[in-house]
Amino acid sequence: MALLLNGRFLTRPPTGVDRVAVELMRAFLARDDAPELRCVVPQPGPIQELGTFPDAPIKSVEISDSILKGQLWEQVSLPGLAAEETLLSLCNIGPIASANQVVMMHDAQAFTQPQAYARAFRMWYHAVQPRLGRTAKLVLTVSRFSAGELEAHGVVPRGKARVVHNGADHILRTAADPEILTDFALEPQGYFLAIGSLAPHKNLKMLIAAAERRGAGAPPLVIAGGGNARVFGENGLRESASVRLLGRVSDAQLRALYENALALTFPSLTEGFGLPPVEAMMCGCPVIAAPRGAVPEICGSAARYADPEDVQAWTVAMQDIANNPQERQERAEAGRAQSAAFTWQAAAAQFAAHLDEAGLLFSAQGHRLRSVPR
């Protein structure tokens, strides 16, 4: 009844779901009741996670001797490595041959937002995820909204998914790097922030249109992440007097951007969780968001909401926040209170409770498995 972590995600450049897996495991393995855990990876290039996420809990991994890599390794080789262990697959997909498995599915967007994905990716998820949803011993997701979407699209049987909310306090672990403001000539409390992505449901074209309606002299909309200006330009998103594109930023730079922004603008048409608003709130940054997906569940009444299909509503919201220091202060205080619940320690407690409910934290004799030496 020990656990085996599917470490395929450690051998690729990290994504958001990979970050969740690392942070969740860091907090889970720090608990006194953490069970025995192994981690195995396919034949790797460099193991990305160890350099990308300092102080990660997985200090060593076992490298499979299989010649297979990627999805083939995950589907063909990994099931035979689990022996009597319960497999943890925390990044949306796991081997369909392993019923003794815990799978975390972050959202149903391959089903609800098919236009955002390549055809091969979409077909793969449509083929594999519903089977995993039926056969896995435990299915986890990151919000009540995502659980409902997974059920509504037949990915997971009704009532089976269990929620483990993401944490966001990793943003406080690294000191802010204010040099990014100097590098891009940004003034404290002199810009709005957005997190860049070309995915259609992120709704950046609408946000840029709203920003440009404010006229000359308005605080610029600064878009961090999501690639460089050329990539955005090729997709019709260009810099202007109202819009600045920063490209990818570090955690330290992102924290500084949150702490000095007038507000984070988050106009997504749907979100399985919505991590940037919670990170922003932890940093005392007000949030303007679309009331879609899991965002109302996560942000509560702390955010100011605007219809993601109403350009003028976003223009007005940005103008109001820029011109009203009292509202900014109230939103910042409400955001700190709202975000306090979303820590990785709390996520690990939810994770452990669901494993416990499924009988995965106890040995056959009813005793908790011994902790991994650290």
220-252 per-position pLDDT tens digit: 999 998 765 555 555 667 778 889 999 889 999
pLDDT score of 26 more than 70: yes
**Distance separating alpha carbons of residues 192 and 219, to the nearest angstrom:** 7
∠ CA 342-314-185, nearest 5°, is 80
67: pLDDT confidence band, cut at 50, 70 and 90? confident
| Domains of the chain with CATH codes | 3-167+343-357 (3.40.50.2000), 170-339 (3.40.50.2000)
Q: What is the mean pLDDT of residues 314-330?
A: 97
CA torsion through residues 233, 236, 242, 246, sign: negative
35: pLDDT confidence band, cut at 50, 70 and 90? confident
CA proximity to 323, closest of 206, 219, 222: 219
What was the pLDDT predicted at 366?
38
Q: What is the mean pLDDT of residues 4-33?
A: 88
What was the pLDDT predicted at 215?
86
**Distance separating alpha carbons of residues 92 and 89, to the nearest angstrom:** 7
- 161: phi then psi, degrees, rounded to nearest 5: -70, 140
Q: Please give the mean pLDDT across all residues of the chain.
A: 89
Q: What is the mean pLDDT of residues 256-262?
A: 98
What was the pLDDT predicted at 227?
62
The residue ranking higher by pLDDT, 59 or 207, is 207
- 11: phi then psi, degrees, rounded to nearest 5: -105, 20
How many other CB atoms are found less than 10 A from the CB of residue 178?
17
pLDDT score of 259 more than 80: yes
**Distance separating alpha carbons of residues 274 and 293, to the nearest angstrom:** 9
Q: What is the pTM of this model?
A: 0.89
How many other CB atoms are found less than 10 A from the CB of residue 201?
18
Percent of the chain at pLDDT > 70 equals: 89
What was the pLDDT predicted at 117?
85
pLDDT score of 139 more than 90: yes
pLDDT score of 312 more than 60: yes
What was the pLDDT predicted at 362?
53
How many other CB atoms are found less than 10 A from the CB of residue 315?
19
